[in-house]
Amino acid sequence: MKKNNFEAGDLIEINFSKISYQGTFIDSPVDEKGIILLRLNSGYIIGFNKKDISSINLLRKNKIKNLISNEKKSELDNTKPGIALIITGGTIGSKFDKETGAVKPIENIQEFLEIYPEVFNSVNIIRIESPFMKLSEDMGSKDWKKIAKTCINLLNDKNVKGIIITHGTDTLHYTSSALSLFIRDINKPIVLTYSQKSIDRGSSDAYLNMKCALNAALSDIAGVILVGHASSNDDFCYGFLGTKVRKLHTSKRDAFKSVNISPLLKIYPDRVEKIFEYKKRNSLKPKIDDSFEEKVALLKIYPNQDPEILNYYLKKGYKGIILEMTGLGHCPGKNSENSWINILKEVQKKGMIICGVSQCIFGKVDPFVYSTGREILKTGVIYLEDMLSETALVKLGWVLGHKEWIKDKKIIKEKMLENFAGEINKNLKE
């Protein structure tokens, strides 16, 4: 077989004596070991030993290269809708590193698009932005702000029908909550997606997630949604509301699940089906509202826990705490050796804001069922109904970041209980 005359992203045909395969050529370190990787139309990646191959035909050069370098809108195909990509890193933006045997972030955007060029054949990529390349565990509120500001510019571009954001999984639900709050009056889809396997691995989940994210970005929804596998099968994805979704498995394809609400969309590679009510595309003018107080913390209640931890946070200058409480919203009461009641009163008198959510994934807090809950409520703790812990943390930082709101605790409570982006399900029955 002759030396490769094709590049990553090219459509090729690999011929054997009795059978042929067509797919996208993937540049990979295994190529140096005499193995060629091909991603089939199904999204699966298979490898072939070069010694067994009779011939290879180049069927089509990778169109993505021209698409990336094309900055003249007059040359775009006007029959295709326009989308924008924001690439931030994570597993979906990573490849196998032959030197370490681990996964590391890709070095440029070109590599990302070359893996799945045909996903984008049906659209014009109007803009590609990469404010940073990070694993999601390394992200923080400053990164959320960068993504939000990037989104604002794209939402106000009339040629952009929707936005796709690629992101790591570990803190993806923090980012989806932040964007849901930081961007007001959203007029188009902002779709976050991910993969659990790097984009150059066999059976990576990235292909279906990207294809479904693209369909969601072209749908009639307006708002922040997270798109990912609905099950371990490669058949369809769900579109989750950005403030009501959580990572519930470390490694499964369908790691993310809706909590206390149905998914909004059922998304196939060729269509989108509505499941639950959502806001639709509109003519609003999106604006940024990303004020944020970084001195907030999420604290889990557990047996034998010393309540003096609250004074530690107070001395460190923290302005607010989300208490992830047991059951319906409890922490050790007056009958416990480690009662939290007095310290809760003390730190709140000194200005710290304390909010309560449940450690349980599903359901909501209710301080009126047991006497302990009533005691805690009297100290001033703000109970946040069915809000997710991660969403609550982001929201507390956002609310406390507004100088005009923090002058009065009554206003803070009102804002924490105001439903800005569907973070509270007022219709939850159980």
Active site residues: 91, 169-170, 247
Token pair, residue 103, equals: 């996964």
Taking each helix axis as running N to C, give the angle between helix 141-155 and helix 172-182, from 0 to 180 degrees, rounded to the nearest 10: 50
Nearest to 114 by CA among 64, 70, 44: 64
Beta strands 94-96 and 82-87 are unpaired
Nearest to 402 by CA among 353, 348, 335: 353
CA Rg value for the chain: 24
Q: Which residue has the tokens 């009533």?
A: 374
For residues 205, 208, 213 and 218, what is the CA-based torsion angle, rounded to 10 degrees? 170
User: 119 near 207, Cβ under 8 Å?
Assistant: yes
| Spatial separation of the C-alpha atoms in residues 264 and 13, rounded to whole Å | 39
User: 204 near 156, Cβ under 8 Å?
Assistant: no
Terminal Cα distance for the chain, rounded: 65
Q: Which helix (H) or strand (E) holds 174?
A: helix 172-182
Q: Exposure of 27 by Cβ count < 10 A (0-12 exposed, 13-18 middle, 19+ buried)?
A: middle
Residues in Cβ contact with 80 at an 8 Å cutoff, skipping those fewer than 6 apart: 122, 123, 124
Residues in Cβ contact with 289 at an 8 Å cutoff, skipping those fewer than 6 apart: 181, 182, 183, 184
Q: Residue 274 pairs with which residues in a beta bridge?
A: 265
Q: Residue 94 pairs with which residues in a beta bridge?
A: 105
Q: Exposure of 50 by Cβ count < 10 A (0-12 exposed, 13-18 middle, 19+ buried)?
A: middle
What ranges make up the beta strands (E) of 301-392?
A: 320-325, 353-358, 382-383
Eight-class DSSP state of 2: P
| Spatial separation of the C-alpha atoms in residues 172 and 193, rounded to whole Å | 9
Taking each helix axis as running N to C, give the angle between helix 389-400 and helix 409-417, from 0 to 180 degrees, rounded to the nearest 10: 140
